[in-house]
Chain A
């Protein structure tokens, strides 16, 4: 109630300053009605502009990230692919070495067993 009384007092004071009368009252009334509408419209516009800005920034970030994500995937694949070829070859080399060593060991055992065969 205090705030309404204050608004009333201020309005009456302004009307008096403007020389009183219905014209002043209509002018004041129009300002009081139109101002919040204008503020509301400006607020909505600002909100939309901010949203558009954020959306545009998000799309730019997406594009940048997509570029770097794709590049990283390709680099990683190329790096790992060469490692894979090399490691698989190393394994097969070790398998061959191991089998040959075992053959030699078996042959040597057989030879030792048959030392006195002849």
Chain B
């Protein structure tokens, strides 16, 4: 169960281990696949789109604009950033999520079913929100924006640490939410398919394979929802930094 993934290129940067192993390679391939799909759609752009690609992409872009950027209060300049995050989670979570069954053994699996991958995405959103807060309000405004408006006196001393902690906790909860949802589905799948190893009954085999198929479909659904929720909460973090509550 704990066989190490095959390392293709061992790299270190200080104490950080950034070697290229199977998981990293698979996710690079997923990202290149995403870029290739979008490039192909871009090449055949038309004002009256016919066929599958451009219609789907337009639906996704409109969805991102209406349901992710508008509620967060961001204008369309943020569309590339939010769309990148959304499509990356979809494109790695959906196909590679099925491979995540075998994940711990051979290093297969998506970036989003690994705490490191989701932590990287959450840290990126957090750094962007910090940078936006600095650029928008300046240094003193940065501290001021952490205190809710209309609060005076010693209550500020009470509220400021609470606000700081809650802001610092947001990327944690983003990362853990995505990771636990993705890998929880894999655990459930492994548990249900593990029943076939315990019993030698045909009925148990059929039931567990049937249950596994249902759970794979449910996992695909959960991946789409979690991609939306991750991007929505990350965008609302950035919007809150930009507009100050």
A binds B: no
Contacts from B to A (Cβ < 8 Å): none
